[in-house]
Amino acid sequence: MKLQLLDHIAIAARTLDEGSAPYLALGLTPEGADEHMAAQGAWIRAFRIGDTLIELLAPDSEDSTIAKFLEKKGPGLHHTAYRVENIEAAMGEMREAGAPLLNDAPQAGRAGSRVAFLHPKWGQGTLIELVEHGHGAQKHVPEQPDLRAGGIH
Ligand SMILES: CC[C@@H](C(=O)O)C(=O)SCCNC(=O)CCNC(=O)[C@H](O)C(C)(C)COP(=O)(O)OP(=O)(O)OC[C@H]1O[C@@H](n2cnc3c(N)ncnc32)[C@H](O)[C@@H]1OP(=O)(O)O
Ligand SMILES: [Co+2]
């Protein structure tokens, strides 16, 4: 499988405004409007840094998975997400590798993406997400300099 790039780093916070403070202070601005992903029990606000996003997650109710995470671990790193070309192919490879997928079929992610998750125990304590970008998200994958041919001087 070819991971294209680090798609986002997700941070769980009690509220989006609380979670936004450091990134606003670092000079970032939210990308688009906040998004409510009811199926994930989360409100989301994204800040773009180059081709990667900081994805802030806040619980939409007391019994959301984000609320459970906050209860257990407090605010902080929730998951890392890697962009793949094709989520079904990536899930198939993960199954073949015996990696513990948390969902049998791709789930709906933010901005029209399709996502899959791998258990945090497998990720050395980090929940790992694979993301196939949707029509609504930035499509291109940046040209990587060809380091073999001394692409970088
Ligand atoms: C916005 C849409 C999408 C996107 O477009 O990017 C998203 O990112 S949505 C993000 C929210 N959705 C998810 O996280 C879905 C996948 N998560 C799950 O299926 C579950 O949260 C879980 C990871 C299986 C945990 O389930 P839970 O019911 O909470 O089980 P436990 O509480 O028993 O946890 C088991 C074990 O794992 C630890 N844990 C839980 N969550 C995380 C985490 N995010 N990172 C690291 N570790 C985590 C938890 O502390 C338990 O550990 P022990 O206590 O040591 O057993
Ligand atoms: Co995510």
Rounded CA-CA distance 57/76 in Å is 10
Q: What band does 140 get if pLDDT is binned at 50, 70 and 90?
A: very low
Q: Which ligand is closest in space to the CA of residue 122? A: 1
User: Which atom of ligand 1 is found nearest the CA of 41?
Assistant: 11
Residue nearest to atom 14 of ligand 1 (CA): 65
The model's pTM is 0.90
Read out DSSP for 66-127? HHHHHHHH-SEEEEEEEE-S-HHHHHHHHHHTT--BS-SS-EE-GGG-EEEEE-TTTTTT-E
In the structure encoding, which two tokens stand for residue 150, read together? 């001394």
Query: Which ipTM did the prediction report?
Result: 0.97
Kindly state if the Cβ of 114 falls inside 6 Å of ligand 1: no
d(C-alpha 18, C-alpha 6), whole Å: 24
Index of the ligand 1 atom closest to the CA of residue 37: 1
Instruction: Assess whether the C-beta atom of 10 lies below 6 angstroms from ligand 1.
Output: yes
Give per-residue pLDDT as tens, 59-103. Answer: 999 999 999 999 999 999 999 999 999 999 999 999 999 999 999
Domains of the chain: 3-94+111-132 (3.10.180.10)
